[in-house]
Chains A and B, each alone.
Chain A
Amino acid sequence: MPSKRIFLVLSLLALTALVMGAFFLFDWPSVLDSSSRPETGWEERRHRYAVDRSTYTSQRGEEERYGFPLNINVEHVAVQDAPLEDGELVLGVVINNETRAYPVNYMMGPANEIVNDTLGGKAIAPTW
């Protein structure tokens, strides 16, 4: 009798592990490559993200409720003051005779991927 109960408990544990394993294995790839899902899935994922990041942003203001700190009031420097290497990749933009390079290396990581900026009198958002 005890051996039967142990077997039952073990198989329950195994089942739980299997289900959880399946969640971790299959859920995230489907979020990353969700070509098979309808577009409305975004709504659901948005909430997941909002929940996932709430601990990160709980100390921050209303504006940051849904994500990472806003990348606003950004810094620019003149060409001779830019701490960049020759071979670094940049996204170059010209608007109304104003010219700016956005180095890709400063746009890595979720808090840096969107730059809210103004160039040539136009509000732009270079993203990576």
Chain B
Amino acid sequence: MYDTKTRSWWNQLFGRAISGPMKGKKLVKLPYTMTTWKKWRDMHPETTAYIKSSVPYHQQSDFSAEYFASLAKKGDGPVENTDLVIGVEGHVEARAYLVRYLARKRVINDALEGHPIVVFLSEDLATARILDRSIGKRSLTFALTQGDLLSDDETGSVWDPMTGEALSGPMKGKRLNSYVSTYSLWFAWKKYRSESELVGAP
């Protein structure tokens, strides 16, 4: 990406300026949710939508949840450059999760820079979430209960990973903080974070 004010060139994936006057500066990544239009509407009935009417409907690609799921269902073969991954950056460390591995596991209890995290992929394989799985000084261990809900081993509370909120049980009303995760193809991620571990690589 380039910006017209300073003519600096920016890496799209990590938001870091790689040349020009802004070299070395980093844009802040904002949290977002990738999901289907229907689910997003249900979660946020007041939402607005970006559209581009100069792109005729018939010229649009058909990037549906089904298509995305088909990418996530690739088999067990060796890691390829075009494999879909979900990346997360800590203060220093970076890690990527192979989406086709995550699609089988759905929930991975892990740690990043010594901090407990849980990586979640929704049933339709469209939404990935990386959440801080600690509440205060206590860390929780998550498993799927039903559909897209999680429960923790420690208290048995039921959590919605889309919002990070506990819906019922002793933790009801508590909220897990979420990390910003990035969908990428493996070759793009590893180019800039070559030290990055790839979780799920066969």
**A residues near B, CB below 8 A?**
32-35, 39, 42-43, 46, 63, 66-67, 70-71, 74-79, 82-95, 98-106, 108, 112-115, 117, 124-127
Q: Are B30 and A90 in contact (CB-based, < 8 A)? A: no
* A116 → B minimal CB distance (Å): 10
> Number of B interface residues, CB 8 Å?
47
Q: Which residues of A contact B190 (CB under 8 A)?
A: 35
Q: Which residues of B contact A126 (CB under 8 A)?
A: 32, 50
* A88 → B minimal CB distance (Å): 5
Output the residue of B35, B43, B49, B62 with the most chain A CB within 10 A: B49
CB-based nearest B residue for A39: B18
CA distance in complex: A99, B47 (Å):
5
18 contacts between A and B (CB under 8 A): A35-B191, A35-B194, A79-B45, A79-B46, A79-B49, A82-B37, A82-B49, A83-B51, A85-B37, A87-B36, A91-B32, A91-B33, A92-B43, A93-B32, A101-B47, A108-B61, A108-B63, A112-B55
B126 at the interface (CB under 8 A from A): yes
Given A34-B191, A87-B37, A87-B64, is A70 in contact with B4 using a C-beta cutoff of 8 Å?
yes
CB-based nearest A residue for B18: A42
Q: Are A95 and B30 in contact (CB-based, < 8 A)? A: yes
Q: Are A76 and B187 in contact (CB-based, < 8 A)? A: no
Q: Are B60 and A106 in contact (CB-based, < 8 A)? A: yes
Q: Which residues of B contact A66 (CB under 8 A)?
A: 2, 7
* A92 → B minimal CB distance (Å): 4
Which residue of B1, B4, B32, B81 is within 8 Å of A63 (Cβ)? B4
B12 at the interface (CB under 8 A from A): yes
**B residues near A, CB below 8 A?**
1-2, 4, 7, 9, 12, 18-19, 27, 30-38, 40-41, 43-53, 55, 57, 60-66, 68, 81, 126, 187, 190-191, 194
Q: Are B60 and A84 in contact (CB-based, < 8 A)? A: no
Which residue of B7, B12, B45, B50 is within 8 Å of A100 (Cβ)? B50
Given A46-B9, A92-B35, is A106 in contact with B55 using a C-beta cutoff of 8 Å?
yes
User: Which 6 A-B residue pairings sit nearest by Cβ, starting from the closest?
Assistant: A86-B38, A82-B49, A92-B33, A105-B60, A99-B47, A99-B44
